[in-house]
Amino acid sequence: MPRFSLQTALDVRERMEKLKQKEFAQQLQVAQELKARIGDAQDAIVASNGQMNQLKSGGFSVAHLQFHESYKSRMNQQIAILEQQLKEQNEVVDVKQQELVEATQKRRVLEILKEKELFRHRKKQERLERLEMDEISQNFAIKQRSH
């Protein structure tokens, strides 16, 4: 079987696609980590609210209320920052996903060319084999007539 004439380019495209897959996966992981951090911060606010409700039933001071409100404010600020980072990260993920799609398309184009080239090669081989078989049968028929 002959070597595909653009095999080197196909190999490069495959490596580029794998690189783009890795970059996409890394950026997606960063986005997931940001989502987890947002969830943790929201859970911390819920837990703090629960603790404050327990304190209300058992008695609390103004200092407790101030501490709770200050903590809740800081956590909401942190959530806002994380959400902005997540928004920006999602944009990066979208860019990396588009780059991956383009790399996959480029690789696929070369694979289609390779398949077509192999198909043409197989057809040529089949045609040559048929010609050879025809020649053999003609030679056999000529020998049979001469005897």
Mean pLDDT comparison of 2-16, 62-76, 97-111, highest-scoring range: 97-111
For 7-11, 124-128, 142-146, which range has the lowest pLDDT when averaged over its residues? 142-146
Greater confidence, 140 or 82?
Answer: 82
Number of H helices, E strands in the chain: 2, 0
Determine contact, residues 87/35, Cβ cutoff 8 Å.
no
Total-model pTM: 0.74
Look up residue 111 and give its two tokens.
Answer: 């694979």
Q: Which of the 8 DSSP states describes residue 6? A: T
Single out the residue of 115, 113, 96, 100 nearest to residue 14, CA to CA: 100
